[in-house]
Amino acid sequence: MAKLTLNQFQQLFSQASLRPEDTQVDPTLLNGIIPGGALGPGAAVDVYRTGHIVRLTEALGETFEAVWWVAGDEHYFQLAKEFLLEHFSTSYNLSDFGKTFPDFLDRRQPFSDLPFLGDLARFEWLFKEVFHLPPHTALTPEQFQEHPMSGNLRLAFGPSARLFRSSFSVYDVWKARGTTQTSLPENDWNQPQWLLCYKHQQQVYIKQLREPEYLLLRHLISGASIEESLDRTLQEFTDITATTVSDLFALIKQTEIVTQLEIGPAA
């Protein structure tokens, strides 16, 4: 029998370490295993398989702490196992594992009475991403005063300024994680939310927005001028008030999420 190349061995070993319990290890791999002690080749591979699953389950739980809390230990461990058997980790950094977990939960829908689980996981992944972003240099209040907040002015935002929307109150659920609460009444989560997530001085902050504010800020972050952003927002919210606009720009200045102001060509 031809000797396995390193690449072939790695592929077979990876498949064996993530295989379902009721499947067999490829005999070609077992022939190349030299176990230690009293273990046979199959048992040696299973030791690694068990440890690999545990490490990935823990890594997933560190990111999706609220999902774990909502699901409970037994259901979370089962969901995590199903997920990692379907989605191999391809990064050397365990913190990268789990990006597709929200989509998995949307497809799986493990709790018919808790339809928000996918969005909750999506929020937790966003929070993790923002937490690991580098800091940015924000504009000073004096720099803001150099241009009126109107017309064809465009605002450049720091990379950590992220928007999130959900049909469910996932931020409220996330804040409750780790408590001794034993149930989640529908009134606790069945309301839409529009959120601004950003990082300031190594700390991640969440601000709740109203839908018109969210839409206006989304247009601004996309690179539209203030005038263009207002026009687009007014198409959906004809009753938006000057106070709402003023409050949003006050929030933008307060959160220090803008890095540059630019006078662009008139629309």
Phi, psi for 20 (deg, rounded to 5): -60, 160
Using one digit for the tens of pLDDT, what is the confidence trace for 241-252? 999 999 999 999
Round to whole Å and give the CA distance between 219 and 163. Answer: 11
Residue 120 has a pLDDT of: 98
* Residue 96 reports pLDDT greater than 60: yes
Residue 1 has a pLDDT of: 47
Residue 149 has a pLDDT of: 77
All structural domains of the chain with their residue ranges: 6-112, 141-263
Round to whole Å and give the CA distance between 188 and 171. Answer: 10
Residue 150 has a pLDDT of: 78
Higher pLDDT, 15 or 130: 130
Residue 16 has a pLDDT of: 55
Token pair recorded at residue 180? 């001794």
Contact 138, 256 (CB under 8 A): yes
Round to whole Å and give the CA distance between 70 and 91. Answer: 27
Residue 85 has a pLDDT of: 77
Residue 249 has a pLDDT of: 93
Token pair recorded at residue 87? 């989605």
Round to whole Å and give the CA distance between 103 and 116. Answer: 12
Place of tokens 């504009």: 139
* Residue 19 reports pLDDT greater than 50: yes
Residue 162 has a pLDDT of: 97
Residue 100 has a pLDDT of: 92
**Percentage of the chain with pLDDT > 70?**
75
Using one digit for the tens of pLDDT, what is the confidence trace for 31-75? 555 555 555 555 555 545 555 566 778 889 999 999 999 999 999
* Residue 92 reports pLDDT greater than 80: no
Among residues 228, 217, 236, the alpha carbon closest in space to that of 162 is found at 217
pTM of the model: 0.79
Using one digit for the tens of pLDDT, what is the confidence trace for 220-242? 999 999 999 999 999 999 999 99
Average pLDDT over residues 178-191: 86
Among residues 47, 44, 19, the alpha carbon closest in space to that of 30 is found at 44
Residue 123 has a pLDDT of: 98
Task: Give CA separation, 264 vs 151, 166, 245, 260, in Å.
Answer: 9, 33, 20, 12
CATH code for the structural domain at 141-263: 3.90.930
Q: Provide CB contacts within 8 A for 66, sequence distance 6+.
A: 120, 124, 173, 174, 177
Residue 81 has a pLDDT of: 84
Average pLDDT over residues 128-155: 87
Neighbours of 230 (CB within 10 A): 17
Among residues 81, 153, 168, the alpha carbon closest in space to that of 121 is found at 168
Using one digit for the tens of pLDDT, what is the confidence trace for 193-224? 999 999 998 899 999 999 999 999 999 999 99
pLDDT band at 82 (very low <50, low <70, confident <90, very high): confident
Phi, psi for 29 (deg, rounded to 5): -70, -45
